[in-house]
Chains A and B, each alone.
Chain A
Amino acid sequence: GQQVMQIPQYQHVQEGEDFTTYCNSSTTLSNIQWYKQRPGGHPVFLIQLVKSGEVKKQKRLTFQFGEAKKNSSLHITATQTTDVGTYFCAGSAGTASKLTFGTGTRLQVTL
């Protein structure tokens, strides 16, 4: 079945440093979504990428979808303590009913 892996599993940065998490799928995806889960909370939708090579930005967050539509990345510029949480990618090879989540990257930010 479809597998989605994320690296790193955990990253600890100083506030102001950049952060990147990478997502790799075993199969070609039709779209990829990113979610953020704050500690003790539930996943919250951030963005969806659909096109090959697509890049989208949300303030300090930059999302990319690979040319082959099998990988994606999330880059945070100048992290803040409010960025703390676990970031999940979730890929679909067809319908949203088959959305497969990655293993997640937990980000810790300290002053």
Chain B
Amino acid sequence: NAGVTQTPKFQVLKTGQSMTLQCAQDMNHNSMYWYRQDPGMGLRLIYYSASEGTTDKGEVPNGYNVSRLNKREFSLRLESAAPSQTSVYFCASSGTHSGANVLTFGAGSRLTVL
């Protein structure tokens, strides 16, 4: 009963390096999301995927790409990391809970770009 699993939990990059954050859910949810969390800014949506095979931009998509590999997996890629991308990244999936379309979050990935 893992829910949403994110890897890695921590990562330090140098400016210009690339990396991929992995996310997998085992709840058979159709929709998946990537958020970033910065102090005082709340959670901001980067990209989301309403269903397998579709992806859409959220509020802050610049500098990121995503892949919905299959129904379970949704990855986030930073092609050329910048210090402004230092943040905590959360993957989430959504399913119905007591009639509400509820987000279930992963544990988060803390990324530092030097």
A-side interface residues toward B, CB under 8 Å? 1, 4, 6, 9, 31, 33, 35, 41-45, 48, 88, 90, 95-97, 99-104
> Which of B43, B94, B98 has the most A CB atoms < 10 Å from its CB?
B43
Taking a contact as CB atoms under 8 Å apart, the answer to whether B106 and A102 are in contact is no
- Please give, as numbers and ranges, the residues of chain B lying within 8 Å of A31 by CB-CB distance: 100
Option from A35, A41, A45 in Cβ contact (under 8 Å) with B97: A45
A48 and B102 in contact, given A42-B107, A42-B108 (Cβ under 8 angstroms):
yes
- Please give, as numbers and ranges, the residues of chain A lying within 8 Å of B99 by CB-CB distance: 48
| 15 residue pairs A–B, Cβ–Cβ below 8 Å | A6-B42, A35-B103, A42-B106, A45-B97, A45-B102, A88-B43, A90-B103, A95-B50, A96-B31, A96-B103, A97-B56, A100-B59, A101-B42, A101-B44, A103-B42
> Which of B42, B98, B104, B106 has the most A CB atoms < 10 Å from its CB?
B42
Q: Nearest CB to that of B56 among chain A residues?
A: A97
Question: Which 8 A-B pairs have CB atoms at the shortest separation, nearest pair first?
Answer: A48-B100, A96-B101, A101-B43, A42-B105, A103-B42, A101-B42, A45-B102, A104-B42
Q: Nearest CB to that of A47 among chain B residues?
A: B100
- Please give, as numbers and ranges, the residues of chain B lying within 8 Å of A1 by CB-CB distance: 59
Considering the chains assembled together, what is the distance between the CA atoms of A97 and B94 in angstroms?
Answer: 9
Count class of interface residues, chain B: 20 to 34
| Shortest distance between the CB of A12 and any CB in chain B (Å) | 17
B-side interface residues toward A, CB under 8 Å? 31, 35, 40-45, 48, 50, 56, 59, 90, 94, 97-108
| Shortest distance between the CB of B114 and any CB in chain A (Å) | 22
Taking a contact as CB atoms under 8 Å apart, the answer to whether A96 and B94 are in contact is yes
Option from B40, B50, B94, B105 in Cβ contact (under 8 Å) with A43: B105
